[in-house]
Structure 1
Amino acid sequence: MAVDRKFAALLGGSVTMAAILALATAAVSMLRTATLLGISLGIALSVFAVMTGTLVIRQISFGLSADRLFRRMEAENDARCYVELPRSPSGRVPAEAAAQYRTECISAVTARPDDWREWFLLAGAHQIARDHRRAVEALRQATALSRSTPVTTPP
């Protein structure tokens, strides 16, 4: 299933980048008209293309950093990255179980605020609880802390 998600992300990124290229081409065409309207539209399309490209690149980079942290936990034989929670028939974690897991992760972060692994698990707990904003904040904190923590390999 992870391969399917990676393929979908790659496909989505590729389609978006193709659309950005089409926008850039249209922007250049508009700029070449040498009319006030054409130049205005060309500048607007250029700004939109640059902003979209920047956002896509940042999202892909963010996803790759999360994947690196997950693989690092796996390499350290930290089985906590495979949390087993009850699921509904549709595959979603019930709200009560998500809230309990998030509370456990918050307690772990409070006990060990300098451990990137706890922040990574908290990011996952927030995501399971469908709190994307806090998940992103926790993952950023985990990434920052992981950069200052040496990689350990199990014996």
Structure 2
Amino acid sequence: MNITLVPIGLQEKEHLNNLLIKYKKELTGNLGRYKYLDSYFEEKDRYPFFIKVDGNVAGFVLVNNYSIVAKGAKSIGEFFVEQKYRKQGVGKEAAKKVFDLFPGKWEIRQLHSNPQGQIFWRKVIKEYIDDNYQEVMLNNEKWHGTAQIFKT
């Protein structure tokens, strides 16, 4: 299985939007438009990628510089793997590739309402950096959930 990250161009914005709708519905039940979609094509320091498996789009990862705890850190704004590609190591491999692309300080956050995401990210980060990370619980106006802070 060949897993790659491919930058998303403006011409593929609608494909990303369709995946974001699916992602939001699964995560929150909300079908609304992702409010930061345009920002990933208009602002620097935002990086949209398709996750591809053997050339087929299997999901996406949106990287940005919006950190709450670790100022100046990279952050994963959103991360999604299609159902048929889950439990095969696709997400884990894609996450590692993202960390390799942007070496340095990272802050990864998950909502309280997303325990599966918390389990996934703890496992991936622990494996990637040999359990050398800090975890904080946030419950303020900016975020309600868990954050892992680490360096690659």
Tell me which interval the TM-score lies in, with the shorter structure as reference length.
Answer: under 0.3
TM-score normalised over the length of structure 2: 0.26
Of Structure 1 and Structure 2, the greater helix share is in 1
Of Structure 1 and Structure 2, the greater strand share is in 2
Which structure is richer in relative contact order (CA contacts within 8 A, separation 6 or more)? 2
